Amino acid sequence: MIVSLEKKLPFNIIAMTTMAIINGMCFSSLYAATDVVIGDERAVKQHLEQSDLSNYSFKQIVKHGQVLFDARFTVLDGAGRPAATSAEVPVKRRKGNVPSLFRTAGPDANACSGCHNQPSSGGAGDFVANAFTAEGVTDFEFDTVDPQFSNERGTPHLHGSGYVELLAREMSIDLQAIRAKAVAKARSTKRTVAVKLISKGVSFGELSAHADGFIDINRIDGVDHDLVVRPFGQKGVFTSLRQFSINAMNAHHGIQSDERWGMQWTHSNDFDEDDVKREITSGDISAVTLFQASLPLPISVLPENKVLKHAAVEGERLFVKAACDQCHRQTLPLRALNFVEPGPFNLAGNLRQTDGQLVYKAELSEAGLKKDANGNWLIPIFSDLKRHVIADADKPHFANEGLSQRFSARDEFMTAKLWGVGSTAPYGHRGDVTTLMDVILHHGGAAKESRLQFEGLTDLEQRKIVEYLKTLQLTPVNTLVNN
């Protein structure tokens, strides 16, 4: 079942200034006076079931999502996971005394906005907010920051994430359609068919389909072999905001989603044995997903100073001249702004469209977007959503991780989305590079030729590119609710 908004609502949190009423219910009913308990120290007073989403306006759902994103969870909400690890699948923790908050193996934060807060909720994080991530599936507790036990990652901003996920969904659909067409042709012609995997002008290598149904995947490049573009995480390993949120809620807060740690998969409503059942519901996860998806697009802000303004404008031309845009694509075309939750590519352990629960539909805002000649929306993402090797023997800085993640090599990362880079220092996947100039000069591997072209510019031309990048900024988000 798909629930669609009766009229188009702007999918932009800055525009959310009123409290709409649908079916006689308003957002305040989530926190009605009848629910007030004196001395209640829960950060989240009420929860939403997935089926509840049809009873509230989009604005109300997003506001509930911000409550969850900004909530400083307490043990009464289920914070902590005394009997569970930070693994992405339900894994019991080893017996023994483990701190309720643990800076390395987690839980390591009280709120999502504890790290995602620059320049406001949903933004990036300082070096002090770095997370330590193990290989992901069967994590164990570790009390050291030694890179042989974990990868240290900086906090990325989440602005424009709804558009990012839609781009990835469309790219995945394109790539899988190319594969299906090749397989069908190979079967009908009884000959091997080789096809190039190109979506939105980005090449992901090629594959060959044989008449017997075998598919040669050895030349697929920069995407997983299932041809699902995973746009989240610095190595491009998370399919959706929903998956990212479910993982983070458990890893960083010990708040376990019912759709992964509940009865369906663990035969328990309290897998982490903290005496709090159903800590966060599917409806809650949808709400916090929609909050993140509704964060506004990064914008371009030119300096008021005429000299700097002229330098920034010239810097954009030089950015292209140095071939920085070969990977950091200034725009990617998006066919449609329809955002459905849950999305079409979620795997087990995340709510899926085939699970028989309500699928919610909204539409992203057109505000600030332009169209190309084919009627596609141009999303100013400054990325190709593809993984690249970005280190080599001459420039090894970005090969400083000791653990591989999923199927990505240690020196392979998704092209950073440069929109908002002017507001989100420090830089690099570890957040250990303090200037844009230095992060450019650290590029190696597949980025070597572009770096060499950058190095071939004059000092003034290089600084003009930096001035241009400084114009790519985040819009501060006004707090909508008080916790």
The H or E element that residue 313 is part of is: helix 306-321
Decide if 280 contacts 254 (C-beta within 8 A).
no
- 102 and 246 in a single domain? The answer is yes
- 188 and 327 in a single domain? The answer is no
DSSP letters for 330-342: S-EEES--EEEES
Last residue of a domain, one of 321, 350, 375: 375
Q: What is the mean pLDDT of residues 443-450?
A: 97
- Predicted pLDDT of residue 21: 30
CA-to-CA distance for 435 and 422, rounded, in angstroms? 10
CA-to-CA distance for 292 and 295, rounded, in angstroms? 5
The single residue listed with the structure tokens 């049809």 is 54
Percent of the chain with pLDDT over 70: 90
What is the model's pTM?
0.91
Decide if 163 contacts 379 (C-beta within 8 A).
yes
Of 14-23, 275-284, 327-336, 463-472, the least confident: 14-23
- 40 and 121 in a single domain? The answer is yes
Decide if 479 is inside a domain: no
- 251 and 177 in a single domain? The answer is no
Decide if 231 is inside a domain: no
- Predicted pLDDT of residue 173: 98
- 192 and 111 in a single domain? The answer is no
- 20 and 85 in a single domain? The answer is yes
Angle at which helices 459-470 and 448-455 pack, to 10 degrees?
Answer: 120
The single residue listed with the structure tokens 């010990």 is 254
CA-to-CA distance for 305 and 303, rounded, in angstroms? 5
Decide if 482 is inside a domain: no
Decide if 432 contacts 438 (C-beta within 8 A).
no
Length of the chain: 483
Decide if 101 is inside a domain: yes
Decide if 380 contacts 297 (C-beta within 8 A).
yes
Of 139-148, 206-215, 242-251, the least confident: 139-148
**Does residue 79 surpass a pLDDT of 60?**
yes
Domain count, the chain: 3
Decide if 226 is inside a domain: no
pLDDT tens-digit readout, 100-148: 888 888 899 999 999 999 999 999 999 999 999 876 655 667 777 888 7
Handedness of CA 467, 469, 471, 474 (dihedral sign): negative
* Helix, strand, coil content of the chain in percent (nearest 5): 30, 15, 55
Tokens of residue 57, six digits: 């306006």
**Does residue 342 surpass a pLDDT of 70?**
yes
Decide if 284 is inside a domain: yes
The H or E element that residue 182 is part of is: helix 161-189
Decide if 481 is inside a domain: no
Computed over every residue of the chain, the mean pLDDT equals 90
- 36 and 62 in a single domain? The answer is yes
Which of 402, 399, 378, 404 lies closest to 389, judged by CA? Answer: 399
Which of 271, 269, 233 lies closest to 254, judged by CA? Answer: 271
- Predicted pLDDT of residue 93: 87
Domain ranges, residue 420: 299-335+376-473
- 17 and 43 in a single domain? The answer is yes
Q: Provide the 10 A C-beta neighbour count for residue 459.
A: 7
- 195 and 52 in a single domain? The answer is no
The H or E element that residue 152 is part of is: strand 151-153
CATH (domain of 382): 1.10.760.10
pLDDT tens-digit readout, 163-201: 999 999 999 999 999 999 999 999 999 999 999 999 999
pLDDT tens-digit readout, 298-323: 999 999 999 999 999 999 999 999 99
- Half-sphere exposure of residue 319, counting CA atoms within 13 Å on the CB side? 24
- 177 and 102 in a single domain? The answer is no
The single residue listed with the structure tokens 């916090």 is 288
- 40 and 144 in a single domain? The answer is yes
- 105 and 145 in a single domain? The answer is yes
pLDDT tens-digit readout, 11-69: 333 333 333 333 333 445 565 555 678 999 999 999 999 999 999 999 999 999 999 99
- Predicted pLDDT of residue 11: 34
CA-to-CA distance for 286 and 340, rounded, in angstroms? 10
